[in-house]
A = this chain, B = another copy of it.
Amino acid sequence: MPDPGPSPLQSSLPAAVASFGAHVLAGALAVGVEPAVGAGPVEPAVGAGPVEPSPPPSPAPPVPPALPTGPPVLTPVPVPASVPDEGAAAAAAPQPRAALERILRGPSGLGTASLHWARSDAPAAAGEADAPDAPAPAAGNPIPGLYHHPVPEPDPVRVEELSRRIKAWALDEVSLYPEDWEDQFDGFSVGRYMVACHPDAPSIEHLMLATRLMVAENAVDDCYCEDHGGSPVGLGGRLLLAHTALDPVHTTKEYAPDWEASLLSDAPRRAYRSAMEYFLQSTTPSQADRFRHDMARLHMGYLAEGAWAQTEYVPEVWEYLAMRQFNNFRPCPTITDSVGGYELPADLHAQPAMQRVIALAGNATTIVNDLYSYTKELASPGRHLNLPVVIAEREGRSEKDAYLKAVEVHNDLMRDFETAAAELALACPVPTVQRFLRGVAVWVDGNHYWHQTNTYRYSLPDFW
């Protein structure tokens, strides 16, 4: 796994960052937060032993518990021509907020652009023109009416190198999958996914931190829960033992060797163990603790979903949404600082306002998954719960109406996330907080990009 040195993307990062001008959170950049390219934790030496983690950075002051009532983020809502009335109703009807928007828009004179957290005149949705020099958009259409932000095409050189390295890791280091799963691994396009989600990673090795974990998380989900032999029966035992690859067992000398050997006994555990070992080498103990917590949440979410599958219980919509806050992408955006080579201090991460931002971002990204994977899951054996299916069942709606309502739920979560992030950014002008918030927002956008463009896995239903 040779390190080819700094990726060509590093020199183009300012351009990539400039493209966040299109993003609702771009204002943060303009108030002095530059990505610290190359300033991150230690780059693990390839083939060398464990690297000492860099010491935690100086902690930043805590966020005041009470956030001021700042201006809400008011971005224009996309109204694709093909969206039917019922689907676009909520999305296309910002009237109640229009007056407020005018009042709260703030200064508009020359030179005031950088004062805005959110610019309501920024392009914010598919269907609008990309920057003139942007590459041609990738395959795949966005879901009509889905509130999202397009991202620049991820750097192809970086994608290629990351894809090469992650495959080498999967095959050579953790024997992740048998040969006949190669197509599925390639179709996952995890390299493109992670480059899109982490444009500020200082190096390929930083991207590998996220990519290994993402692959390992998918291996656990596939092999223990779903596609490849997974089952809800006995899942609690399997997931707990896999979790010990992230959160180690401390036991007696007699029994420790059996536990250690177990971490090499199947592909999911090999992947968790190795991915976590690399993660520990490049992050602080608090970042590792945060990740473990998010993974415990994820595993609890899998177990709730599994319990409902086993008892054939279709949850209420609110119950489903609660479960989906746990069975959630959360562990991925919350390592944005680790992948970016800096640390959001633990005390700032724990603030209720930050926890709310993270939860809303995770929820929005996760409902994106429900929407793009809808037809894939319908085609799978058994009944697979997702938000449209639960809304249809619990609220007596047609499949189409339920799907379109799920789009609205997503859009509400996205707007709540952006509002909460903007308020926190105003209340807490700490560089690591600003950069972390932007990193989470970029992850949300990159996640949408990957779902939209992953035509190997996903196709849209015929509802428009």
Contact = CB atoms under 8 A, between A and B. Distances in A.
A347 B56 contact: yes
Size class of the A contact interface (CB-based, 8 Å): 35 or more
A249 B324 CA distance: 10
A237 interface: yes
Contact of A285 (B255, B316, B351): B351
Contact of A311 (B233, B297, B317): B233
A331 to B, nearest CB: 12
Contacts of A296: 293, 296-297, 300
Nearest to A64: B55
A317 B255 CA distance: 7
A350 B286 CA distance: 5
Interface in A52-85: 52-53, 55-56, 59, 62, 65
A240 B326 contact: yes
Interface string A334-370: 0000000000011101111001100110010000000
Interface stretch (A16-24, A201-209, A409-417): A409-417
Given A307-B235, A311-B233, A318-B258, A325 B293 contact: no
A321 B255 contact: yes
B250 A356 contact: yes
Contacts of A241: 304, 319, 322
B286 A236 contact: no
A105 interface: no
A347 B300 CA distance: 25
Contact of A307 (B234, B244, B352): B234
B300 A289 contact: no
A297 B248 CA distance: 12
A410 to B, nearest CB: 9
Contacts of A355: 285, 289
Contacts of A288: 350
Interface string A268-304: 0000000000000000111011001100110111011
A347 B236 contact: no
Contact of A249 (B62, B233, B325): B325
Contact of A55 (B62, B243, B284, B319): B62
A236 B285 contact: no
Contact of A322 (B53, B249, B349): B249
A12 interface: no
B236 A307 contact: yes
A262 interface: yes
A323 to B, nearest CB: 6
A9 interface: no
B363 A234 contact: no
A119 to B, nearest CB: 25
Contacts of A307: 233-238
A237 B247 CA distance: 23
Contacts of A363: 250-251
A360 B249 CA distance: 9
B286 A318 contact: no
A44 interface: no
Contacts of A345: 347
Given A237-B304, A237-B315, A326-B240, A252 B285 contact: no
A262 B321 CA distance: 13
Contact of A346 (B251, B252, B286): B286
A97 interface: no
A244 B322 contact: yes
A195 to B, nearest CB: 29
19 contacts: A56-B62, A56-B347, A237-B307, A237-B311, A237-B313, A237-B319, A239-B304, A240-B301, A241-B322, A251-B363, A251-B413, A252-B412, A252-B416, A256-B318, A286-B350, A289-B349, A292-B293, A293-B296, A346-B350
Given A251-B318, A259-B318, 19 more contacts: A55-B62, A56-B62, A59-B59, A233-B310, A234-B307, A234-B310, A235-B236, A236-B236, A236-B306, A239-B304, A241-B322, A250-B356, A252-B321, A252-B412, A259-B322, A285-B350, A286-B346, A289-B349, A296-B300
